[in-house]
Structure 1
Amino acid sequence: MSQRIASTRWFIRGVCGALGLLSLCVSAVEVIVHPNVTATALTVSTARSTFGMRQNKWPDGTPVRVFVLADAHPLHNAFCKEVLDVFPYQLRQSWDRQVYSGIGQAPTELFSEEQMIERVSTTLGAIGYVKKVSDHDAVRIITVH
């Protein structure tokens, strides 16, 4: 991403945050994990590796299980652009390259945020994303910085 686009994005976020309207200006995406995942935060680079299916274990050795929404889902687009700082087609190319070369697999694709919360909460080592987590959901939010 060019320096100008990056600085413009941070300016918009700063203005919206100062006005208390961040949720209206930038759609929030929360990265969620299974409650037993020991990691509390990921760098953007690590998040890209994880969702790009290149990092297959958590620091404690637990296998990573990645869940994503369909490519056309608006939240998937927001997640790719806002959290991973890549376009959705770039993520798809990474998955396809691994699958077709035989060195990896694609993540499990889900159809709704409700299904995402249910699968992440019941699968050890799982990671995914939703727009908003409620207090009664059995998942944990992990920060990406």
Structure 2
Amino acid sequence: MKKYVFFLLAGLLCSPLLQADVVIIGNPAGPDSITNNQVRDLYLNRSKELPNGQKATPFELPEGNQVRAQFHDKITGRNDAQLKAFWSKQVFTGRGQPPQEAGSEAAMKAQVASTPGGIGYIDETDVDSSVKVIFKP
């Protein structure tokens, strides 16, 4: 029994270390920086432009993704159920459509890199020269 308690405690203590460090990425031709509030406004349909005036195209990871959960926890303060309800209302009232979904972090990076005004989020360890970090929450 003590052995199981030890492993349980060890797992709980190490779990924060396994959490991703999410960063906001942008297309290399886009702005060099963005604020927390500007990112939130883009992902909650309150704004459609990047700080440089360029039309923004936000991308979203699938529900259940750990990086998505961390992003929304830090930026929008909403979980998957709250986001689903929010976007259902936006679509129903004709106010907007949810961000385009990227199937994985690699797809997110590729879509942001190839889309003018593209913005997304990935784990900091996945950043390469195809995109640039424009904000770190």
* TM-score strictly above 0.5: yes
Q: Number of residues paired by the alignment?
A: 123
Alignment of 1:52 onto 2:52: no
Instruction: Find the counterpart in structure 1 of residue 123 from structure 2.
Output: 131
Secondary structure at the aligned position of 1:138 is classed as coil
Give distance in 2, aligned partners of 1:48 and 1:135: 21
Instruction: Find the counterpart in structure 2 of residue 31 from structure 1.
Output: 24
- Is residue 44–residue 76 contact of structure 2 (8 Å, CA) maintained in 1? no
Secondary structure at the aligned position of 1:114 is classed as helix
CA RMSD of aligned residues (A): 2.2
Normalising by structure 1, what TM-score?
A: 0.73
Q: Structure 1 pair 90/140, CA: closer, same or farther in 2 (3 Å)?
A: same
Q: Which of residues 95, 99, 120 is equivalent to 1:103? A: 95
- The gaps in structure 2 that reach 5 residues or longer are 1-13
Q: How does 1:77-92 map to 2 (within 5 A)?
A: 77-92=69-84
Normalising by structure 2, what TM-score?
A: 0.77
Instruction: Find the counterpart in structure 2 of residue 14 from structure 1.
Output: none
Secondary structure at the aligned position of 2:64 is classed as coil
Q: State the 1:94 CA deviation.
A: 2.3
Instruction: Find the counterpart in structure 1 of residue 54 from structure 2.
Output: 62
Instruction: Find the counterpart in structure 1 of residue 7 from structure 2.
Output: none
- The gaps in structure 1 that reach 5 residues or longer are 1-20
- Runs (4+) of structure 1 exceeding 3 A deviation are 133-137
- Is residue 41–residue 144 contact of structure 1 (8 Å, CA) maintained in 2? no
- Is residue 68–residue 76 contact of structure 1 (8 Å, CA) maintained in 2? yes
The alignment-based identity, stated in percent, is 26
Q: Structure 1 pair 30/128, CA: closer, same or farther in 2 (3 Å)?
A: same
